Structure 1
Amino acid sequence: MRVEVATERLKERIYATITMIAVTAGLALSGHTGPAGAALSVTGTAAGLWLATLVSDGQAHMTVHGSRPDRRGILRSLYITSPLLLSAVSPLLLIGVSAMGLMAPRTALLTAVALDVLSLFIWGYVSGRRMGGRPAVALVAGVLDLLIGGAVVAVKLLAGH
């Protein structure tokens, strides 16, 4: 059960990271958002994803089981979905650095994008190694995940954000 829960938590974190890449890239490419607006967008995105996931978990449980989740089910859902909120930490820290005047807002947001894309590479590499792959195979897995993050950024560029 522990491995299943860890898997679900990591899935939520990766999903939120990909979403946050899209949001922070869009904010950076728009060039119209200051630190306060960027922080609000990032916080709203993470909170919205988390709440939407909680609602969908509850709805799915009620539909399948014909009853509301019990206390244990609610706590499990809160625990599993909490990594969605962590997707906001890195961008918010960098936005905070920007708010202190130490970095331009666009630079802070692009750095957040780069860190999130790098985290996808790391998760891909680690998964490749955990599946028994040699470093070269794990590197390919990491690069494939990195390309997913790059594709999100490319879509934002092509969309004119």
Structure 2
Amino acid sequence: MTGTTPEFVINESNRFWIGVVSASHVSHAIEEGIAQTCSGKAGPLGRMRSGDWLIYYSPRTDKKSGEVLQAFTAIGRVADDIVYPFKINDDFIPHRRNMRYLPCRSVKIADLLDKLTFTKGRRNWGYSFRFGQFEINREDFMTIANEMLKVS
């Protein structure tokens, strides 16, 4: 899946998702052309369909000891309807999906807190991110995507 970039086309059947993953894991996902969320659980990935859009939010640069980042770090489109296991080692076999990522820039969530319906006016705006993957509405997706895809 690497090397393919989707067109930025939105249609009525698309759904929009946020995946919460450290920036270092996002870099690996882009390189491999895959998505993996929620510690590799199949269920959250299975809710997505081919053509849906995923934006990664990275709370930190690395999973545990990384620096605080709190930024949207990647945007991509689900390539197909296949969720598959991928053996990392005998003790860890996470599930993945194939993705096509767009070139983009990172965007700090602090710049968008008052513009997104799932964070606006919420002191505890980070609560929904604790689930690892969640669906957002088209308006919120477009707000984030427009910032990420801006040409400097």
Give the structure-2-normalised TM-score. 0.30
The structure that is strand-richer by fraction is 2
When Rg is computed on C-alpha atoms for both structures, the one with the higher figure is: 1
The structure that is helix-richer by fraction is 1
Give the structure-1-normalised TM-score. 0.29
